[in-house]
Amino acid sequence: MNQLEQLKQFTTVVADTGNFRQLAAFTPRDATTNPSLILKAVQQPDYAPLLSDTARACRGFALDEIVDRTLVRFGLEILKVVPGRVSTEVDARLSFDAPATLARARRLIGLYEAEGIGRDRVLIKIAATWEGIQAARTLEREGIHCNLTLLFAFAQAVACGEAGVRLISPFVGRIYDWYKKSSGTAWDEAANAGVNDPGVKSVAQIYRHYKKFGIATEVMGASFRNVGQIVALAGCDLLTISPELLALLQANDTPITRALDPAVSPATANEADIKPADHTEASFRYALNEDAMATEKLAEGIRAFAVDAGKLDVLIRSL
């Protein structure tokens, strides 16, 4: 078997793309999108009509509703290809506004349901800010399942688990990027590869914590920079992977082994005493503040997604 086939023995493979015409070649179970991926897709000739057709059909609607209808249009196309779920993201500019996040999430679900898509096939992506996690807590109680994204800190994962979030997406590659940049010329690529990759270590810690304490939240590693990071997390609940890296896995038949297993992945010595915690807003914000990497990458990620959301607004206004 090639590495993609081997990986599927241990992990649910998810495609990280808005390019739904690429999906069939890799047969993922689920797919994830984000504002940057959707913006990239609608600028391609094959996908531009989805945006223009939606904008024309919704002429006179508020801009934010046209955006949501465009996102759902992509989601509907993706769900024709994947048998599982699609993740659709709430506007990143609402990351610190829980009531607005709730309103947009409910509208997205309503649009899917109007097209005959059940809630079990949709995950609402929300940035893992304090406000986003509290919005997700409410949504989960309503049967609207969430994917908490832009997750870099252990504190974010703990709070998401306590809130009963369905799934989290720790960002492996962006964690790796931060440590590599901060180390400068002292960075040793070989010494920080595989299980020693700082992004891999972060996801493994969260996975072990959730399994140790029976936390039902699914862990989906995301934002990969290379195949080595993916292989080092074989066995994680889910991994969302770009088409480019899926193709590399599919072209390689080097054997891989399961790296994460709930039955044989005990906590490391310095994790052994970590207990499940109920974060207050103050303790969450303080813990996040203490993690310079997570603080910087969360802010950077929200800004980047907000920029791309703004670019999508501009495209819609031009139609």
- Active-site residues, by number, are 125
Neighbours of 286 (CB within 10 A): 12
Q: How far apart are the first and last CA of the chain?
A: 47
DSSP 171: B
Q: How many residues does the chain have?
A: 319
Neighbours of 308 (CB within 10 A): 17
- Strand residue runs (E) in the chain: 12-16, 30-32, 86-89, 122-127, 146-151, 167-170, 218-221, 238-241
- Comparing CA positions, the residue from 124, 95, 92, 120 lying closest to residue 107 is 124
Task: Give the pair of three-digit tokens for residue 32.
Answer: 């994830």
Q: Which residues pair with 32 in a beta bridge?
A: 16, 87
Task: Give the pair of three-digit tokens for residue 74.
Answer: 């992509």
Contact 84, 121 (CB under 8 A): yes
Distance CA 283, CA 157 (A): 14
Distance CA 283, CA 184 (A): 32
